[in-house]
């Protein structure tokens, strides 16, 4: 049986979709409902559904943000929207599966049968394409693994991110550190450069956490964070670090 999760901030919409999914043949089991993107991510990670019905317009993380933060392998995604023309254009461009609200049983059946016949490999590639395209946009949050749960962390709460033995660890304000699926290179590209700074091959630092820049040896430096943590600054990155910090103080 196909297992699905429904993500929508409006309860009636979730209930209707669940009711429709019970009527289709073969039926789809709804293993969870989530009222926000942030609530959905851990559920998706934990329950590993085959199918995800994802509303686009939601407070906090919208549907596209959820896709951005969802580590691969992703479930098959069917986007749901009421009237977002911008989103619909994106669906069309990437040949993604989408449903318009109010969701019709006939249209839902059609989408599911395409999925069963594996006709929409295009849609899966489309999602990859969408994620790559959105890769150019700065991230607003980060997903980290907290035990078996996937946690969504606002960027303000991240003090620094380091890679250690092929694991990328995000160190948070509360002292905890959690692994994330992003690589440092990806993060360097996708984090807002006015807020986060790559100081070293193994390290990205939240600029607002930096307290001191201390000369070390052989032209290298260390940055001292507010908690006393010291992190290395590579020689070839010193200039960038100084510039970023200078810009910040000048502001």
Interface residues with another protein (CB under 8 A) are 9-13, 15-16, 19-20, 35-36, 38, 57, 59-60, 82-83, 101-102
Q: How far is the CB of 81 from another protein (least distance, A)?
A: 11
Task: Work out the number of other CB atoms within 10 angstroms of the CB of residue 238.
Answer: 17
Q: How far is the CB of 37 from another protein (least distance, A)?
A: 8
**Residue 63 token pair:** 């549907």
Q: How far is the CB of 24 from another protein (least distance, A)?
A: 14
Instruction: Calculate ∠ Cα 16-51-147, nearest 5°.
Output: 110
Task: Answer whether the bond into residue 38 is a cis peptide, omega within 30°.
Answer: no
Cβ within 8 Å of residue 236, ≥6 positions away: none
Residue placing its CB nearer to another protein in the complex, 127 or 152 = 152
Strands of 24-166, DSSP E: 28-34, 51-55, 76-81, 97-100, 141-146, 149-154, 158-164
**Residue 201 token pair:** 């091959």
The torsion region of residue 208 among left (phi > 0), alpha (psi -120 to 50) and beta comes to alpha
Q: How far is the CB of 236 from another protein (least distance, A)?
A: 39
Rg (CA), the chain: 21
Residue placing its CB nearer to another protein in the complex, 27 or 102 = 102
Residue placing its CB nearer to another protein in the complex, 88 or 95 = 88
Q: How far is the CB of 25 from another protein (least distance, A)?
A: 17
Contact between 91 and 54 under an 8 Å Cβ cutoff? The reply is no
- Entry field: residues in the chain: 251
Residue placing its CB nearer to another protein in the complex, 53 or 160 = 53
Strand partners, 197: 205
Residue placing its CB nearer to another protein in the complex, 154 or 215 = 154
Distance CA 196, CA 173 (A): 15
**Residue 14 token pair:** 């979730």
Residue placing its CB nearer to another protein in the complex, 40 or 187 = 40
Q: How far is the CB of 94 from another protein (least distance, A)?
A: 25
């Amino acid at each position: 049986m196909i297992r699905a999760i429904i993500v929508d901030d409006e309860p009636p919409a979730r209930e209707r979709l669940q009711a429709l999914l019970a009527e289709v043949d073969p039926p789809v089991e709804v293993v969870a409902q989530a009222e926000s993107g942030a609530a959905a991510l851990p559920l998706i990670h934990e329950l590993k559904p085959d199918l995800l019905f994802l509303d686009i317009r939601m407070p906090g993380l919208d549907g596209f943000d959820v896709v951005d933060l969802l580590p691969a392998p992703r479930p098959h995604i069917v986007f749901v929207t009421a009237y977002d023309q911008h989103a619909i254009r994106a669906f069309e461009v990437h040949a993604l599966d989408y449903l318009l609200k109010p969701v019709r049983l006939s249209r839902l059946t059609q989408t599911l049968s395409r999925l069963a016949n594996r006709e929409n490999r295009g849609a899966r590639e489309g999602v990859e394409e969408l994620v790559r395209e959105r890769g150019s946009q700065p991230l607003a949050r980060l997903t980290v693994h907290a035990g078996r749960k996937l946690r969504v962390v606002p960027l303000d709460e991240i003090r620094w991110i380091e890679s250690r033995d092929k694991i990328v660890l995000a160190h948070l304000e509360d002292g905890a550190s959690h692994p994330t699926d992003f690589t440092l290179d990806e993060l360097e590209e996708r984090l807002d450069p006015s807020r986060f700074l790559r100081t070293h091959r193994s390290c990205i630092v939240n600029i607002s956490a930096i307290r001191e820049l201390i000369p070390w040896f052989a032209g290298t430096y260390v940055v001292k964070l507010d908690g006393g943590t010291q992190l290395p600054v590579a020689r070839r990155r010193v200039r960038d670090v100084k510039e970023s910090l200078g810009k910040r103080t000048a502001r």
